[in-house]
Amino acid sequence: MKSLVEQLSFSYKMDEVLASVAETIKNFAVIYLVDISEVPDFNTMYELYDPCTVMFFFRNKHIMIDLGTGNNNKINWALKNKQEFIDIVETVYRGARKGRGLVISPKDYSTKYRY
C-alpha cells in the first residue's frame, strides 16, 4: 500500500501534466478535476478509489480506452510525458467522434514486454 506522501506526489505529477496540456487540447477536450470524496456519486460505478484517475467522456457517454492493462475504463497512473497524454486524448476524441465506445491506445502500456 502506498504511503500518503507517495499518493500525493503521484497525484501532483498528473495534475502538472493535465495543467500543462490544457491549453494545447482546448479545441477538442476540456479537463475537469473532481474530488471523489466531495462527489461520491460515481465511485462504485466506475471503481474510483485511486488517488488519481483519468476518465474520458464524449457527449455524456463514457469512452473506454484499451491501454493493454486490462482496465479499459480509466488511466490510474501518472503519465509523465505531456505528448503521450495529448496523443491519448486525440485518439479518444477521434474514436468518440466516429461513435466508438472503445478506442485503442496509441501505445501499449502492458507489462508484457518489460523485463
Dump pLDDT digits (tens) for 68-115: 888 888 998 888 889 999 999 999 999 999 999 999 999 888 876 555
The CATH T-level fold of domain 4-104 is Glutaredoxin (3.40.30)
Is pLDDT at 8 greater than 60 in this prediction?
A: no
* Type of residue numbered 31: I
Mean pLDDT of 24-44: 89
Residue 40 has pLDDT above 90, yes or no: no
pLDDT category of residue 52 using cuts at 50, 70 and 90:
confident
Q: What's the pLDDT at 1? A: 46
Residue with cell string 507517495: 6
Strands 56-58 and 61-66: antiparallel
